[in-house]
Amino acid sequence: MELFEKKIKREEGKISPLADRMRPRNIKEVVGQRHLLGAGRFITRLIDKKELISLILWGPPGTGKTTLANIIANAAGVNFVSFSAVLSGVKDIRAVIDEAKDELRLRNRRTILFVDEIHRFNKAQQDAFLHYVEDGTITLIGATTENPSFEVNAPLLSRCKVLVLEQLVSEDLKIIIKRALEDKERGIGNLNILLNEAAMDFLADYSQGDARAALNGLEASVMITQPDKDGIRIITLEAMQEAVQKMALLYDKGGEEHYNVISAFIKSMRGSDPDAALYWLARMLEAGEDPLFIVRRMVIFASEDVGNADPHAISVAIAVKDAVDFVGMPAGWIPLAQGVTYLAAAPKSNASYLAYLEALEDVKKKGALPVPLHIRNAPTGLMKKLGYGKGYKYPHNFEGAKVEQDYLPDVLKGRKYYKKKG
C-alpha cells in the first residue's frame, strides 16, 4: 500500500488535523533524533541501503516513532501494515501474517508490520509474532512509550534492535511550529497568522518535547483567534494559554516515569536539596499522584536516610501523613511541602538501616542460632533447672542501668552491626 500521497487532496486537508498533515514525508523533513538520523547514523544507513531489520522504537509521545516507521517502509518500497495494539488481537495478527505470506509468494515483496503501543500486547499476543519475525515473513517495527525491558517479552526483544528516541528540545519544536506557519499546502501558511514570541516560547515549553502536542496547540490557538480588521490572526500569549488550557504532564502512574520521578524525589531529599525535592513533589501532585503514596515514601525515608541523626524526623513524617489524610487535597500540599523541606534539610544517617541489613545477612547465612541460656525466659521450674535465665544481670541493678553482658548467640559474640555516625 502507498504510504504517502504525492499530493494532499484539498478536501482531506480541510478535515485532517494539522499534526497529521505536517507529518514528515522523508528523512530530510524529520526534526530531532540526530543520534539516529545524522550522516552515517543507524536509521540513515538503513534507509540509504534499503535494508530491513526488526525494531522497537522507544520514546516519549510525539517524538516521531510512527513517522520513522513510515519513512523506513516507504524508502524500502515494501508492503506496510499498521495497527494499534489497543484495538487489535491475535486474530488480526494472523490475518496480517497471511497477507504477508501472499505478498512474499506472489509479488516477492516483503512486509513491515508496524505495531503502535506494542507494550499493550500481552505475552500470548507478542509470542504470536516470534516465528514470523524469525523466518522473515514480516519485519516488525514496534513503538512504545514504556521501557521495553519491562513491557516486551524477552524472546521478542532478542529478535529486535531497540532504538531510543529522545524528547525533542524547545528549539526543535520551534522549527516544527514555524514550518506549519509557513507551509501553504499542508500547514496554515495561507491564513495570515502572526504568532508572537512569548506565545511561541510558551507553546514550545508547554509541549514538553511532543511535536504532536505543539501542532495541536498551535491549531487550537488559530481556531479561537479571530482575524483583525486587516485579516491578521495575532496569537498572543494569553490566546495560546487559553487554547492549551492546562499543561498535561508526562507522568504515567503505572509506568516508568512514575518510578523515575519518585526516585528523583527521594534522591533530592537524600542529597539535602529541598528545592529539587519540592519541584519533584509538585510534579507528582500536579500529575495526579496519590499524596498518600508520596507520604508513605517520606515515612520510609525518615527512618532509612535521616534515622537517629534526627529522631524527630519519623514523627514529622507520620504527622504529615495524618495531616494529609485529615485535610485531603488540594490543601494537602501544604503539610507535604513542610514535611519535604524538613526531611531534606535534616541531618542524615543510614546507620540503623545498614545495621539491620547486616543482621539480616547473618540470619540468612547462619540460620536460627540458639538463644544464650542466660537471656532466655524461665516461666517454669523445669526451665530454671535447665539453666534458663541463670546468670542474667538485670541492668537496672547497676549504675546507669548498664552492665557488660553478652546478648548475641555465641558464634556472633563481638559482632557490631550498628555503627553510630557522628
CATH number of the domain that 84 lies in? 3.40.50.300
Percent helix, strand, coil in the chain, to 5, is 55, 10, 35
pLDDT of the residue at 48: 84
Considering the domain architecture, whether residues 133 and 198 belong to the same structural domain is answered as no
pTM for the whole thing? Answer: 0.60
Classify residue 350: in a domain, yes or no: no
97 and 117 inside one domain: yes
Could you tell me if 227 and 311 lie in one domain? no
What per-residue confidence (pLDDT) applies to 88? Answer: 66
For position 38, what pLDDT does the model report?
80
Looking at the fold, whether 210 and 95 belong to one and the same domain comes out as: no
Residue 180 and residue 216 share a domain: yes
According to the model, what pLDDT value does residue 59 have? 87
Q: Among 214, 244, 274, identify where a domain stops.
A: 244
Per-residue model confidence (pLDDT) at position 246:
54
Count how many domains the chain has: 3
Is residue 125 assigned to a domain?
yes
Lowest-pLDDT choice from 64-68, 116-120, 211-215, 301-305: 116-120
User: Is the pLDDT score of 275 beyond 70?
Assistant: yes
Q: How many CB atoms lie within 10 A of CB 78?
A: 19
Q: CA-to-CA distance for 336 and 372, rounded, in angstroms?
A: 46
Cell of 418: 550498628
Q: Same structural domain for residues 300 and 264?
A: yes
DSSP 40: T
Residue 385 lies in a domain: no
In whole angstroms, what separates CA 268 from the centre of its chain?
18
Q: Tell me whether residue 292 is in a domain.
A: yes
Instruction: Kindly state whether residues 109 and 203 are assigned to the same domain.
Output: no
Task: Catalogue the long-range contacts made by 320-326 (C-beta closer than 8 Å, 24 or more residues apart).
Answer: 320/295, 321/292, 321/295, 321/296, 324/291, 324/292, 324/295, 325/292
Mean pLDDT of 154-172: 88
In a domain, 383, yes or no: no
CA distances from 85 to 26, 129, 161, 210, 250 (A): 25, 13, 19, 21, 21
Domain co-membership, 136 together with 179: no
Contact 93, 129 (CB under 8 A): yes
Greatest mean pLDDT range, 42-51, 95-104, 213-222, 333-342? 333-342
Q: Are residues 136 and 55 in the same domain?
A: yes
Q: Where residue 260 sits, what CATH number does that domain have?
A: 1.20.272.10
The mean pLDDT value of the chain amounts to: 85
pLDDT band at residue 316 using 50, 70 and 90 as cut-offs: very high
On whether residue 7 sits in a domain, the answer given is no
C-alpha 315/C-alpha 322 separation (Å) is 11
Residue 313 vs residue 102, higher pLDDT: 313
- Long-range own/partner contacts, residues 233-236 (CB < 8 A, 24 or more apart): 233/191, 233/192, 233/193, 233/194, 234/194, 234/196, 235/193, 235/194, 235/195, 235/196, 235/199, 236/196, 236/198, 236/199
CA 333 to chain CA centroid, nearest Å: 23
Over residues 11-31, the pLDDT tens digits come to 444 468 898 899 998 888 999
pLDDT of residue 159: 85
Domain assignment present for 422: no
If asked whether residues 51 and 100 sit together in one domain, one would say: yes
Q: What percent of the chain has pLDDT over 70?
A: 92
Could you read off the pLDDT of 82-100 as tens digits, one per residue?
Answer: 877 766 666 777 888 888 8
Residues near 209 by Cβ (< 8 Å), separated by ≥ 6?
Answer: 60, 62, 63, 166, 167, 168, 169, 172, 173
Q: Is the pLDDT of residue 9 over 60?
A: no
Residues 62, 140: one domain? yes
* Confidence at residue 1, expressed as pLDDT on a 0 to 100 scale: 38
Highest average pLDDT, of 89-93, 249-253, 395-399, comes from: 395-399
* Final residue in a domain of this structure, among 311, 345, 379: 345
What pLDDT is attached to residue 207?
Answer: 85
Kindly tell me if the per-residue pLDDT of 260 is higher than 80: yes
CATH assignment at residue 231: 1.10.8.60
Q: Do the domain assignments include residue 386? A: no
Domain of 80 in residue numbering reads as 33-164
CA distance 372 to 340: 44
Instruction: Write out the three cell numbers for 61.
Output: 509521545
330: preceding bond cis by omega (within 30 degrees): yes
Among 210, 244, 278, give the residue marking a domain's end. Answer: 244
H-run or E-run covering 196: none
* 190 and 78 co-located in one domain: no
pLDDT at 249 over 60: no
For 128, 135, 283, 292, 333, the CA distances from 268, given in Å and listed in that order, are 43, 49, 13, 19, 18
